[in-house]
Structure 1
Amino acid sequence: MAPLPRPARALRWIGSSRKDYMEFPSQVQDSFGFELFLAQTGQHPPSAKPLKGFGSGVVELIDNHDGDTYRAVYTVRFDEAIYVLHSFKKKSKRGIRTPQTEVELIRARLRDAEALYTRNKEHGS
């Protein structure tokens, strides 16, 4: 007998991540949307890679479309939800490294997600 699929965790958007995501080309939204669904159900999305410098549980999705690179960063550290921390089009033409300004924004939003998670746990929601 096949194992039962894990119930889907909620998907929560931090800061402007949803608004920024909605500005991506529809093909990128479709691709990331499917991959976020996989993460919600406890599966490993094909393009998911750990984001360096954040330890375990912070993951980035990468998609290339029409010569541009799009990224969505989320965390699976909290049991009740997947928190999308940041969605952005990579502008730097030098290498694949995530620009420092984006890294700092991701760190701040990870702290916001942690505070939201703690608040939800304390209030039983």
Structure 2
Amino acid sequence: MNTIKTLAFVGDSLKHLRSFPAAVRQDIGFQLYKVQRGQQPRDFKPMPSIGPGVQELRVWDECGTFRVVYTAQFQEYVFVLHSFQKKTMQTSQSDIDLAKRRYRQVKEQQHGKN
């Protein structure tokens, strides 16, 4: 039996995701569902600068470029650390710093359970 990890949104990541265009939300939802099932999303890249096991899901649309930073390294959860519309070629330092803080929070919280 293939278990499905629970999707958990950290901070205001769900609020930001909900502000994305409908087609983008639908695509991201499908890609995150694949991650929950242990599969790889269509377009992602590792983000080791944020933390080990952190990935950035990438979606392009005529409305712009959208990103969801997540980690699936924990046994029961896929944590969405940050979601945002990318405005420049390089991810802004403030977006990276926010995802790093949230990653540390999640890590501390998960290690506290063991």
The answer (yes or no) to whether the contact 2:51–2:100 under 8 Å persists in 1 is no
The yes-or-no answer on 1:28 pairing with 2:24 is: yes
SS at match of 2:85: strand
The TM-score with structure 1 as length reference comes to 0.84
Q: How many residues align?
A: 114
TM-score, normalised via structure 2 length? 0.91
**Cα root mean square deviation, aligned:** 1.5
Instruction: Write the deviation string for residues 43-78 of structure 1: whole angstroms up to 9, x where unpaired.
Output: 011112112423541011111112411000100121
Q: For the structure 1 residues 104 and 55, does the alpha-carbon distance in structure 2 shift closer, same or farther, using more than 3 Å as the test?
A: closer
Unaligned runs of 5+ in 2: none
Cα offsets for 1:49-108 (capped at 9, x unmatched): 11242354101111111241100010012111000000000122xx2x211111000100
Match of 2:71 in 1: 75
Query: Superposition pairs for residues 60-99 of structure 1, below 5 Å?
Result: 60-92=56-88, 95=89, 97-99=90-92
- Structure 1's consecutive aligned runs of 4 or more residues displaced over 3 angstroms after TM superposition are none
Over the matched positions of the two proteins, sequence identity in percent amounts to: 36
- The 1:108/1:55 distance shift into structure 2, 3 A limit, reads closer
**How far is the alpha carbon of 1:115 from its aligned partner?**
2.4
- Does the 8 A contact of 1:72 with 1:88 survive in 2? yes
Residues 23-54 of structure 1, C-alpha deviation per residue, up to 9 Å, x if partnerless? Answer: 00011111010010000010011112112423
| Structure whose alpha-carbon radius of gyration is higher | 1
2-side partners of 1:43 and 1:32: how far apart?
A: 14
Match of 1:116 among 87, 109, 114: 109
Paired residue secondary structure (2:65)? strand
Unmatched tracts of structure 1, length 5 or more: none
2:99 alignment partner in structure 1: 106
